[in-house]
A and B are shown apart, each in its own frame.
Chain A
């Protein structure tokens, strides 16, 4: 199924006191002088929080930047949909927060499967992110004195989450997009919307460019640079139904993986506990309800599973507030993996669990609840037809975020020199589970502060000489032609749906050895069937949305197999990954002795090769992650 390769020796994190590692790394990193920066080109793929902020900041520094996104405008990257907020260790509340506490919470929240150096740096940079965004005019929520408001979020006992109503991601993204727009206007960024990266150009061992398809004309072309940055987001759409936008895909990172970049912890998927339950076979995606709802909403199920009364007709005595009962210290604010699993054990998908605001409305008044959550309530009502002010919401867990991604070192370098990977596309900072309000933080930390400070150390060796892109462009054209040539009798969507069912059942919230082996038998069969029966209409050299989807699903069919191999080999429960065979008293049982490492997989075309990066915890001692 897989073979073992050499462990990863160098992750480039400085040693010594953790508080000064980032400062020391910045000081030792070589610089590129301003005149030379003008002659260096960097490709940034993706324009979400990570890619948009990176492209803008690199251009501010003076590099020439080529920016690509598949949407019709950089402003539509899926970071725009993040609702709840962004963490920062500002301690504006005087509630005991600090860089250390944010660091500690994030390592613990990730179930001790993240790299301490990275997480500490993330916590350090969090405060600068808020300052930067405020300076850009991001309209964060304010108190009457004019200062910034904060709220608490799942997995945290301090109030460190900055927010802009339920649309924090949108506002942060617009900040980055506007910074990017300023650089486009100044001529320092060349923007390519409606353009999809389909392969990576590696020459003389270095990443030197990308092959892209213009989604309007279908033209395939090659763009070269001194370095390539992937900021292409996560791969949750492997599961078909997820909270990801429909266009979110794994093609860029998967193609880079096939060209030599290691893929780390692919099975680490986050299941979000508060989504709107699916309503039928036709469902095209799932909609998240912000985790912040759990600040004031109480989660319950009927005490008697057979109780089929409407929620309003079930009296207090007939309700089981199971999160408050099972985890009294955190209650409804337990981390996402714990809340998701508890929901699954307490109910079923048809009914979901109830998220009830009756107490909050009685305590705070409907106006306060409306001010906090009004737009979320409207969205819920629009989708379900129910009014959350009078009827408890129905929620259910759904695939949300992928903690796995391309392996990167402390400098965000993949294993291909010159290929940097940032934001959700890399694996680095969240471990086996992601706490709320931490993804926006990582995207912006990478894009505004980390990458711009470390990429110079690589580019100091440039120029790298002329590139012969070889036959990559022809390979991309061949692949497009092959997809069109099958001309079978099944739609792309039907394959995606079937793959999603396998993945949700066997590699979702709860996994078993037997289930994963079943998936590993069925996925190659499904992939073979895809390449003999898929039907893609139209032509390659034209606007062709079915063709776009077909290429993405073809890659999901390969990535899904690696996810299952990774899940099978990790015989422990940790974070969002719950292995049914590895439990203690019904709770997840981590096995630090055997699995305290990052699993980084090498592509071979056959069984993948496992390279381990051992995780060392000097500052936050691994302990049983108790939220009771």
Chain B
């Protein structure tokens, strides 16, 4: 099959969409493999290949992320760009491919953006403060199965940033809420539940992510189906924390 791809090319402060005809594709290819094919042709033609982030190509590392026809990770629900296959497109389609767009995700090159702001949010408190070596026996603290399952559902977040790219406010609330929910639901994470939520929210805001207005675009594109209810939990944790301790008490 043949596709026409309009791809965002950027090297420096500004960029533009460039149109490429990409013939001889197979419907069994993943979307990234179609970009591979295009890139091999560009290299042989003496042009610079299209830069894009990818690694595991199994939908779990969270490194790939393309805006395909205006939808983060493309038209298939609950799918990363690497797991999107060309059988979901038709021969002759024109497809527009752009990077994630959000102020805290500056473009590095073409379709590659800097998502290290996510790491800053986790560093602000997205962990259980336990050092290695003296943990009690794993069975010492039972966890009700429904809690463990709900924590797992939230923990499935791969940190790809689709939620931010899809949000009209450029908010990272779904990402942040997923981590807060995961750890807050488990007894191990409960002592830091309030400080974690408020510290991570403060980092989120400081990094330039926008506020949440419950639009729901984030969960609509989330490749792991993280539900909007995590944000409700997050808000509740922040409110509870604001009542129970004074702000500015930065924990370590």
Contacts and interface: CB of A to CB of B under 8 A. Distances in A.
A binds B: yes
Interface of A: 53, 56-57, 60, 71-76, 78, 80-81, 90, 92, 128, 130-137, 139-148, 164-165, 167, 170-171, 174, 177-179, 181-182, 184-186, 191, 193, 216, 245-247, 279-280, 282-285, 287-288, 378-379, 382-383, 385, 448-449, 452, 489, 491, 493-494, 535, 537-538, 543, 545-546
Nearest to A77: B61
B36 A284 contact: yes
Contact of A76 (B36, B55, B59, B125): B55
Looking at A72, A171, A449, the one whose CB has the most chain B CB atoms below 10 A away is A72
Contacts of B56: 76, 78, 80-81, 245-246
A81 B46 CA distance: 35
A449 B132 contact: yes
A97 to B, nearest CB: 15
Interface string B76-103: 1011000101010000000000000000
A152 B186 CA distance: 26
Interface stretch (B1-9, B140-148, B165-173): B140-148
A278 to B, nearest CB: 10
Contact of A284 (B33, B62, B138): B33
A245 B57 contact: yes
B119 A73 contact: yes
B115 A146 contact: no
B156 A178 contact: no
Contact of A535 (B36, B44, B112): B44
B53 interface: yes
Interface of B: 26, 28-30, 32-33, 36-37, 39-40, 43-44, 46-49, 51, 53-63, 76, 78-79, 83, 85, 87, 108-109, 112, 114-116, 118-119, 122-133, 135-139, 141-145, 148-149, 151-152, 155-156, 158-159, 182-183, 186, 188-189, 252
Contact of A245 (B55, B78, B129, B156): B55
Q: Which of B39, B63, B115 has the most CB of A within 10 A?
A: B63
B58 A134 contact: no
Contacts of A283: 33
B148 A140 contact: yes
A121 to B, nearest CB: 15
Given A283-B33, A383-B83, A178 B127 contact: yes
A546 B43 contact: yes
Given A137-B128, A181-B119, A280-B28, A132 B135 contact: yes
Nearest to A136: B128
Contacts of B83: 379, 382-383
Contacts of A140: 138, 148
Most buried by A among B61, B152, B156, B186: B61
Contacts of B123: 181-182, 184-185
B48 A282 contact: no
